[in-house]
């Protein structure tokens, strides 16, 4: 046979996720930490790796790492689960709470992975679009879950790519209003310093997603985790790949997590730079930045695709959302080092004002 039958029907029209990485002097497109782990932590990682038996399978559930995370969050091991990046746990969410005949509530514009996972698993997607300022249409969400058919939803807080936290009172109202599984995606929690962790005791339907990829400089390692109630976590355990988190990733994450206090000054500096970038963007004529609680700023401008190209030609890679639904004319810049942020602002000023001083 020199032909193959079609793949599963839900794949028709699905575009593979493309982070649109390109080489550039300033990589400000993927919300990574601009600083790699420091030399001391790197040495400790190397010592730990030197002791690893590579011929043996890893601990499937990474219990040592789970215990570290659990203790830091005042939880037990059975209330924590680690995954191969937050992305794997998002896929597991769709496997465990989605599927044929089941419905996911999405709040676009938001992280595109949720919608893609729902489609892959033949889950129906219901959308409650955000308001023009990208805040959640809270009344519409509460009305939609009241219909009773939503099996799970994700509230991204801070939202990616738009930047703001969800309102805490709204999240509590939502958890009260539905028995759907509510995932609060706190991938940027270290930059917002706001968490729904205190709600776990009273709300069995809450699960929180976090990652080592952003604040903890480990995007290359692939490590994410869930905080949830034991009954919810055990459902995720049923669908996960037993050895998805390899021994090397477990070891790196253990060392980094044990040293997490060392990342605090860097996080504080990024928060300060976020404010400076936001204020500087406001002063560029024709540019409208959206307030952010994360480590990136979304901004809107005319000729956004041309601006993206001009920035790229200046060695600065930002993320182009200008053709994405509801994000027309928008680019997203990750907060980099002060030098990278200056180079970005200078290049954008140059594009908008042709070199005229601001």
Ligand X SMILES: *Cc1c(COP(=O)(O)O)cnc(C)c1O
Contacts (Cβ under 8 Å, ≥6 apart) of 183: 93, 152, 153, 154, 155, 207, 208, 209
What is d(CA 215, CA 189) in angstroms, rounded to the nearest whole number? 9
Q: Respond yes or no on whether the N-terminal peptide bond of residue 345 is cis (omega within 30° of 0).
A: no
Among 187, 226, 255, 335, binds ligand X (CB under 6 A): 187
Return the SS3 of 83. strand
- Counting residues that bind ligand X (by CB under 6 A) gives 14
Q: Respond yes or no on whether the N-terminal peptide bond of residue 168 is cis (omega within 30° of 0).
A: no
Q: Is residue 134 near ligand X by the rule CB under 6 A?
A: no
4-33 residues in contact with ligand X (CB under 6 A) are: 31
CB of 127 to ligand X, least distance (A): 17
Residue 326, Ramachandran bin (φ over 0: left; ψ between -120 and 50: alpha; else beta): left
The mark string for 31-60 relative to ligand X (x by CB under 6 A, - otherwise) is: x-----------------------------
What is d(CA 247, CA 58) in angstroms, rounded to the nearest whole number? 5
143-172 residues in contact with ligand X (CB under 6 A) are: 156, 160
CB of 75 to ligand X, least distance (A): 19
Among 213, 217, 244, 341, binds ligand X (CB under 6 A): 213
CB of 30 to ligand X, least distance (A): 8
To 5 degrees, how large is the angle CA 271–CA 277–CA 278? 90
CB of 63 to ligand X, least distance (A): 20
CB of 223 to ligand X, least distance (A): 7
Buried b (16+ CB within 10 A) or exposed e, 62-101: beebbebbbeebebebbbbbbbbbbbbbbbbbbbbbbeee
Q: Which is nearer to ligand X, 107 or 128 (CB)?
A: 107
Strands across the sheet containing 224-228: 80-83, 224-228, 206-211, 181-185, 152-156, 103-106, 124-127
What is d(CA 5, CA 324) in angstroms, rounded to the nearest whole number? 32
Among 34, 37, 80, 85, binds ligand X (CB under 6 A): 85
Q: Is residue 109 near ligand X by the rule CB under 6 A?
A: no
Q: Which is nearer to ligand X, 233 or 245 (CB)?
A: 245
Q: Is residue 249 near ligand X by the rule CB under 6 A?
A: no
What is d(CA 180, CA 20) in angstroms, rounded to the nearest whole number? 34
Q: Which is nearer to ligand X, 183 or 304 (CB)?
A: 183
Binding piece for ligand X, criterion CB under 6 A, among 18-26, 58-66, 82-90, 138-146: 82-90
Q: Is residue 111 near ligand X by the rule CB under 6 A?
A: yes
Binding piece for ligand X, criterion CB under 6 A, among 84-92, 123-131, 165-173, 193-201: 84-92
CA 26 to chain centre: 20
Burial category of 315 from C-beta neighbours within 10 Å (exposed 0-12, middle 13-18, buried 19 and up): middle
CB of 101 to ligand X, least distance (A): 26
Binding piece for ligand X, criterion CB under 6 A, among 38-46, 199-207, 210-218, 235-243: 210-218
Q: Is residue 86 near ligand X by the rule CB under 6 A?
A: yes
Q: Please say whether the beta carbons of 240 and 246 come within 8 A.
A: no
Which residues of this protein are in contact with ligand X, per CB under 6 A?
31, 85-87, 111, 156, 160, 185, 187, 211, 213-214, 219, 224
């Amino acid at each position: 046979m020199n032909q193959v039958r079609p793949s599963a029907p839900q794949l028709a029209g699905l575009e593979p996720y493309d982070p649109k990485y390109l080489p550039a002097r300033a990589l400000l497109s993927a919300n990574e930490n601009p600083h790699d782990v420091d030399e001391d932590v790197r040495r400790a990682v190397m010592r730990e790796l030197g002791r690893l038996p590579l011929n043996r399978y890893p601990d499937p559930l990474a219990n040592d790492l789970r215990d570290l995370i659990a203790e830091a969050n005042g939880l037990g091991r059975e209330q924590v689960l680690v995954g191969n990046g937050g992305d794997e746990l998002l896929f597991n969410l769709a496997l465990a709470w989605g599927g044929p005949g089941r419905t996911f509530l999405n709040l676009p514009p938001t992280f595109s992975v949720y919608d893609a996972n729902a489609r892959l698993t033949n889950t129906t997607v219901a959308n409650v679009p955000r308001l023009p300022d990208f805040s959640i249409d809270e009344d519409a969400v509460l009305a939609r879950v009241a219909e009773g058919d939503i099996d799970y939803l994700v509230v991204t807080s801070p939202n990616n790519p738009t930047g703001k936290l969800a309102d805490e009172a709204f999240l509590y109202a939502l958890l009260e209003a539905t028995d759907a599984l509510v995932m609060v995606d706190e991938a940027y929690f270290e930059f917002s310093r706001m968490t729904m962790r205190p709600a776990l005791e009273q709300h069995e339907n809450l699960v929180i997603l976090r990652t080592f990829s952003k604040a903890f400089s480990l995007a290359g390692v692939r490590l994410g985790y869930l905080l949830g109630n034991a009954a919810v976590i055990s459902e995720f355990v049923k669908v996960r790949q037993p050895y998805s988190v390899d021994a090397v990733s477990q070891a790196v994450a253990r060392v980094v997590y044990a040293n997490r206090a060392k990342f605090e000054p860097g996080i504080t500096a990024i928060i300060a730079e976020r404010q400076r970038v936001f204020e500087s963007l406001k002063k560029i004529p024709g540019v409208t930045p959206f307030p952010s609680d994360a480590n990136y700023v979304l901004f809107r401008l005319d000729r956004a695709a041309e601006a993206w190209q001009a920035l790229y030609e200046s060695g600065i890679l930002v993320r182009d959302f200008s053709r994405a639904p509801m994000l027309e004319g928008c680019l997203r810049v990750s907060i980099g080092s002060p030098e990278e942020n200056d180079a970005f602002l200078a290049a954008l000023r140059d594009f908008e004002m042709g070199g005229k001083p601001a």
